[in-house]
Structure 1
């Protein structure tokens, strides 16, 4: 490489990483729009959770076919980044196969990369077939049309292109090594690309070198484009799966959080020494009025917003949701996608108004998610159990239900009747309190 090539490479690399850093900053800003919640408890359990679920893919294996294919892609993505590191260093310093001095170990690395690249190609092609030819039900659901469907295919096709570039680049490099052409000294083992290498037989070595260099540039530029595309795609989980599993709720799945304000009111009512007629303490001017539940994304906590960005759109939650299976409108995947889309809309509003959110007469509730969807949920936690990265659509559903009930008194008639009966009769059914214990005399 000439010095001009090195300078151009550094400029391209700086632009790619710089734009990525801007998107990461925006991502962190958007997540921090949520309410604060403390997830610093029990760090040992959290590290274990992250190691098992994010690193160990423990929840993926419930569906073994998809799990094996995903492991090919996952391990390939992690390991092949070592090759990317060499490419970056070669581009900066004008070297060629900088790590080649490692000898036999380098041969093992390059051989492993090639095998993984081939497995990634195989897995991605199977994924494309599952989505577009076999058309598995969870990939043709009504909430996965338009951009979400296209996004998944763009990602898969990008991986096909990048892996193909990698193998063809190595094949051309190997061909030049066999010829001993210029600086192409023997380095690396090529168990897959050796079968591509014969394509270059009979070609002018200078032409093969031009092909190798062109693909080298396309490969690294493609990686930088892919890196910056992550923010706009479902593949953001590549970056967020680890913090998302670390900060996941460790409480039993059936245990809901109590609202602190309501808990304090109940404690006050049960305190025999409390004065029920005492005036409430004066409100601080800077205190934001307490809102029960969630109407918009700012009312959710930051972990829930991170959940939305981490969603892989795999559809496991929706395919196991009993409400969705029986034809109800609810789709837990749509809940997460809608939350992310609304959060992105709020973020763009803030960007357009110099860091300040200007009310846009829209909310997550009603404009994105309807009460019909929320009340279809049975609170069974099937979606939470199925999610491979420990996302909880249920927590968002419960918070939005709380808003409907406690802020708008907009619960369904059957639920209002039940709550009225509990208040008046001490039981969900409409009968006299004196009859509550009659059931024990029925035998």
Structure 2
């Protein structure tokens, strides 16, 4: 009978971690649906970016209030959860505060954890006030429907409860309080329970202990369904993020291949595509641009899953500021939603995607949104985790122009002028200087 709590703990731990691993595999599968992209260059710069941006929060603190509060929550939550290792060992072996044997260092660590827990709790309350009382504009844009707004609050509530349980667990632990080492905050909270018997305190301490560890496992598995997946993905996303100058656009490989075929004298321009004839020969180029998530590369899909929905990109977007429908945050949210839909389709059809008559273009992201973008890169500069909404916008615009010839009239006129006159203006090369005679 004495081993029942240990067995129960092991079952809960294995189930929680197992479900998390299952979701991580599904996440990796969905990301791999994207096209391959080579990001093996500039490794030293990539490591530096990850250290500065993901670990060092360098882009978060550009907005000092939110940056400092986020740093407190981030550092506190990570460091406090080091104690989870002790909880896991205690739960499996039936011990109690097994690391207390290290002496005074244990007290220093727990004391630091308690101070951080209070700071995290206060920071989370301030975040909740900013979001729900002050109602900062970027948190209440049209794309922030009920689920995105509720999701953000659920995480805040989670963090409040976990920090509270941690402090109550310490405050009602008679043995820990008797040590009088590291109980810098919990000794004050302990006075609230001073009238209770030792047996009652033990029940409260055990209850807080169990709910705390189960809550952490629930939080871990909730991440897959939440925008807070960036807690895990910010590190690979900042490592693989763009290291080229932001204004430098990538050449479209399919266009390059098409041009090479046109210039190759050995290629018969009237030959049928190799896949249609079944004969060996030059492969026809892939689809130009992107109309659905499978046409994007895996880094763009990783970007979509990493999006924090913080809205910094949208608040910096000049198109959005002037009332246009474009919201870079919505571009990322729509991409993630469509990718999730495709993933569920694959799961329902035993590993194969069944055409559902939908796509990212038009069903999620409208042409009006795409053409509102000025390509200024304000969104990519503002993103605290190196997400690049512009790359998705440009790939979808390439599809519209090169596959559907669906560019706006103004753009079609410009391209015609470039083709005929070698410049965007509707003047013959011989007439370009006529303005000086006017």
Task: Tell me the distance in 2 between the aligned counterparts of 1:388 and 1:35.
Answer: 25
Aligned to 1:5: 5
The alignment status of 1:405 with 2:401, answered yes or no, reads yes
Task: Say whether residues 1:61 and 2:61 are aligned partners.
Answer: yes
Match of 1:40 in 2: 40
**Other-structure match for 1:330:** 326
List alignment gaps of at least 5 residues for structure 1: 181-185
Give matches, 1:291-306, under 5 Å: 291-306=287-302
Per the alignment, residue 158 of structure 1 pairs with: 158
The answer as to 2:246 corresponding to 1:253 is yes
Give distance in 2, aligned partners of 1:14 and 1:201.
37
Preserved contact between residue 384 and residue 394 of structure 1 (Cα < 8 Å): yes
Q: Deviation per CA, 1:380-404, whole angstroms, max 9, x where unpaired?
A: 0000000000000000000000001
Counterpart position of 2:414 = 418
Contact 2:254–2:287 under 8 Å retained in 1:
no
Among 222, 232, 235, the alignment partner of 1:239 is 232
2: CA distance between counterparts of 1:92 and 1:429?
A: 75
- Structure 1 residue 190: Cα displacement: 1.2
Q: Does 1:308 align with 2:304?
A: yes
Deviations 1:184-226 (A, max 9, x none): xx27411111110001112111011001001100000000000
Aligned to 1:26: 26
SS at match of 1:53: helix
Deviation at 1:277, TM superposition (A): 5.8
Q: Which residue of structure 2 aligns with residue 389 of structure 1?
A: 385
Whether the 8 Å contact between 1:86 and 1:97 is mirrored in structure 2 is yes
* Aligned positions of 1:15-164 closer than 5 A: 15-164=15-164
Structure 2: distance between partners of 1:88 and 1:407: 56
Corresponding position of 1:262: 255
Name whichever of 1-10 and 224-233 sits farther off: 1-10
Contact 2:111 2:182 in 1 (8 A): yes
Q: Verify the 8 A CA contact 1:37 1:303 in the aligned structure 2.
A: yes
Q: 1:442 to 1:21 in 2, by over 3 A?
A: farther
Give the TM-score taking structure 1 as reference length.
0.94
User: Is 1:354 matched with 2:332?
Assistant: no
Q: Which residue of 2 aligns with 1:183?
A: none
**Separation in 2, partners of 1:23, 1:187:** 42
**Post-superposition offset of 1:268:** 5.8
Unaligned runs of 5+ in 2: none
Give 3-state SS (helix, strand or coil) of 1:196's partner: helix
Measure the CA separation in 1 of the matches of 2:318 and 2:409: 22
1:283 to 274, 277, 282: 274
Secondary structure at 1:436 match in 2: helix
Post-superposition offset of 1:56: 0.7
Residue equivalent to 1:427: 423
SS of match in other structure, 1:36: coil
Would the alpha carbon gap of residues 242 and 288 (structure 1) be closer, same or farther in structure 2, given more than 3 Å must change? farther
- Deviation of residue 261 (structure 1)? 2.6
RMSD across aligned C-alpha pairs, in angstroms? Answer: 1.9
Structure 1 position 44, deviation (Å):
0.9
Q: After superposition, what is the alpha-carbon deviation per residue over 1:214-241, rounded to whole angstroms, capped at 9, x for unaligned? A: 1100000000000000000000000000
Are the aligned partners of 1:6 and 1:91 in contact in 2 as well (CA < 8 Å)?
yes
Q: State the number of aligned residues.
A: 433
Matched, 1:205 2:195: no
Shift of 1:42: 1.6
Give the C-alpha shift of residue 282 in structure 1: 5.3
User: Which residue does 2:221 correspond to in 1?
Assistant: 228
Please give the secondary structure, in 2, of the residue aligned with 1:164: helix
| Structure 1 CA distance for aligned equivalents of residues 34 and 260 of structure 2 | 27
Worse-matched range after superposition: 275-284 or 253-262: 275-284
- Name whichever of 246-255 and 331-340 sits farther off: 246-255
Secondary structure of 2:172's match?
Answer: helix
> For the residues of structure 2 that align with 1:106 and 1:288, how far apart are their CA atoms?
65
Counterparts of 2:423 and 2:14, CA distance in 1: 66
Q: Deviations over 1:301-344 (max 9, x none)?
A: 00000000000000000000000000000000000000000000
* Structure 2 CA distance for partners of 1:248 and 1:292, relative to 1, 3 Å: same
Mapped to 2, the partners of 1:280 and 1:244 lie a distance apart of 43
Is the 1:338–1:364 Cα contact (8 Å) retained in structure 2? yes
